[in-house]
Amino acid sequence: MRQPDIEIYLKDVDQDAVSAWLEQVFAMPCAWQARGQTFKCTLRYGGEPIPVTWLPKAVGKWHSLLLESDVSPWVDDLACARDAQAALQVQVRCAPSGWSEEEEEETADRWLKVTDEGVEEIVWRTE
């Protein structure tokens, strides 16, 4: 089942590298526009617009990449995280499934860490 959006966290990666990866995936450039501390652009997939948000240092050295659409090349966060890790060669983290406000705090700290070695479930306290 497709997630309603895609969000991944990338460690110590340059925004230009992420832009180049997105351009390769979507076959179009991401023309970032600064909005305070965040950067936004719109990409297209299957003719559908996808609002994209880049938040540098969202959690320490971790940058957030959010694609606000259920229409993308990836069915879920993990698929996107695997693709990003392979292309960018950096550690990527994502939620193990879609997230909701109703989640217990205990499960909210469960994350997937994606590295060259594979995928591992971890506890990541982001606050």
Each residue's pLDDT tens digit, 5-25: 999 999 999 999 999 999 999
Confidence (pLDDT) at 109:
80
Question: How many other CB atoms sit within 10 Å of the CB of residue 22?
Answer: 22
Beta strands at 118-123 and 110-115: parallel, antiparallel or unpaired: antiparallel
CA–CA separation, 2 and 75 (whole Å): 5
pLDDT classification of 127: cutoffs 50, 70, 90: low
DSSP state of 25: H
Which of 15-19, 80-84, 94-98 comes out lowest in average pLDDT? 94-98
The pair phi, psi for residue 88, each rounded to 5°, is: -100, -15
Residue range 114-125: average pLDDT? 93
Asked whether the predicted pLDDT for residue 104 surpasses 80, the reply is no
pLDDT at position 102, please? 55
